[in-house]
Amino acid sequence: MELKYYTRDQSGKVVIKKAYLDPYLDMYNGEILSYRLSKKPNAKAVLDGLSEVIKKVEKASYRTTIHTNQGWAYQMKSFSKALKDSRIFQSMSRRGNCLDNSPMENFFGIMKQEMYYGVVYESFEALEYAVKQYMYYYNNHRIKEKLTGMSPVEYRKQTSQLSA
């Protein structure tokens, strides 16, 4: 997802810049397992986020599937190899079909409504701080009706206690 922030050049003129958010969403409870925000699209951000996800799910007792769109980053050999080495399956959206990626697109819409629209971020650092605060809120405090009124983390903790 592309996010804009604003800075000023040496003459004081406002300059629009872009930041790129690469999150990984758990389809089980809607939790954001990992994310990276960077000043330009890059493989390192995508692979670092994936490494964090792999560490979190390596002891899962169920088959793990990572769903992605058809972006260049998710077609890299290093991305596919990391998934294969970790016995994680890849599900990929069909070309030109945004409905395949609707859970992530829904998250993007909610995030933009709740922390982005109507706010002017005057630096990358200000945007980065806001994203970090939002991710914590979304995972730990934002309740979801489909999770019986719990946040994603509360739901995961409750269901893991039931299955233990």
What tens digit of pLDDT does each residue of 74-102 get?
899 999 999 999 988 888 777 767 677 78
Mean pLDDT throughout 39-63? Answer: 91
At 91 the pLDDT is: 80
What is 99-155 written as a DSSP string? GGGHHHHHHHHHHIIIIITT----SHHHHHHHHHHHHHHHHHT--BGGGTTB-HHHH
Specify whether the CB–CB gap between 79 and 46 falls below 8 A: yes
Residue range of the domain that includes 139: 2-163
**CATH code for position 33:** 3.30.420.10
How many domains, in total, are found in the chain? 1
At 101 the pLDDT is: 78
The dihedrals phi and psi of 88, each to the nearest 5 degrees, come to -110, 135
User: What pLDDT digit, counting tens, does each position of 100-125 carry?
Assistant: 778 888 999 999 999 999 999 999 99
Stated as kind and residue range, the H or E segment containing 35 is: strand 32-38
At 162 the pLDDT is: 59
Mean pLDDT throughout 133-161? Answer: 94
Mean pLDDT throughout 12-33? Answer: 93
